Amino acid sequence: MSPVTKHRLLLLLPFTIFLVLLAYFAIGLTHDPSKLPSTMIDKPVPVFDLAGIDGGPGLASTDLTGKVQLVNVFASWCAPCRVEHPLLVRLAREEGIVIRGLNYKDKPEAAQAFLNMLGNPYTSVGADKDGRVGINFGVYGVPETYVIDKAGRIRYRHVGPLMPQDVENVILPMLRELAK
């Protein structure tokens, strides 16, 4: 390599660095900062035992083993929960999926009214009045939905309301895979 070509290549260096940074930041911009990874993935669900709402069946960590199921964190005061609720009802009724409710920081009577109005997709609901079980799950917003495998381990977390494409593309394939 002649000194002149070497010199020319060196001139390209700032531009190359610029391109690398550009790619780096472009990738960074595609990440949604409100969606955080869960550290609970592949870990067993936290140990808890919660009473039900309005005399209904409660929810304990022991209920979450033996069968692939979903845990849905919801509250009657949460508007996006209302958005995803019909989808949960359809999943439970038409796909026969076991969905457990974690009623996060809610009044039991308000939660019951919510379910009476919109339908109850939950096999059982635990009333997490002070949000402690939520914290143990790593919940930082409502709604959140967790996929639990047969061994009672958390395999996936969805943050925010479930949308039909999330269910079709992620949740249902995962449930089928885990059920094998």
Partner 1 sequence: MKKFFCSLSFFCSLKRRAGASAPLAYAPRGAGRRSAAWLAVLALISLLSAPAFAVLPDEKLADPAMEARAREISKELRCLVCQNQSIDDSNADLARDLRVLVRERLVAGDSNDQVLAYVTDRYGDFVLLRPPLKSYTLVLWAGPFAVLLIAGLGTALYLRRRRQEVEASAGIPLSDDEEARLQALLDGTAEKRGPGA
Q: Which two tokens stand for residue 146?
A: 């967790």
- Measured from the CB atom, the residue of 71 and 78 that comes closer to partner 1 is 78
Query: What are the backbone dihedrals phi and psi of residue 38, each rounded to the nearest 5 degrees, phi first?
Result: -95, 140
Residue 150 beta carbon to partner 1: minimum distance, rounded to whole angstroms:
23
Stretch that binds partner 1, among 61-69, 114-122, 138-146, 168-176 (CB under 8 A): 138-146
User: Does residue 146 interact with partner 1 by CB under 8 A?
Assistant: no
Residue 20 beta carbon to partner 1: minimum distance, rounded to whole angstroms:
12
Interface pick for partner 1 out of 20, 22, 23, 36 (rule CB under 8 A): 36
Interface pick for partner 1 out of 142, 148, 154, 175 (rule CB under 8 A): 142
Nearest C-alpha neighbor of 104 from the set 81, 120, 70: 81
User: Does residue 148 interact with partner 1 by CB under 8 A?
Assistant: no
- Residue 180's alpha-carbon distances to 65, 170, 173, in angstroms, are 15, 16, 11
User: Does residue 113 interact with partner 1 by CB under 8 A?
Assistant: no
Q: Provide the 8-state DSSP code for 123.
A: S
Residues near 152 by Cβ (< 8 Å), separated by ≥ 6? 44, 45, 61, 64, 65, 66
49-50 and 59-60 strand pairing: antiparallel
- Measured from the CB atom, the residue of 18 and 140 that comes closer to partner 1 is 140
Residue 74 beta carbon to partner 1: minimum distance, rounded to whole angstroms:
10
User: Does residue 135 interact with partner 1 by CB under 8 A?
Assistant: yes
User: Does residue 44 interact with partner 1 by CB under 8 A?
Assistant: no
Maximum distance among all alpha carbons in the chain? 85
Contact 164, 172 (CB under 8 A): no
User: Does residue 88 interact with partner 1 by CB under 8 A?
Assistant: no
Which residues are at the interface with partner 1 (CB under 8 A)?
33-34, 36-40, 75, 77-81, 105, 130-132, 135-138, 140-143, 159-161
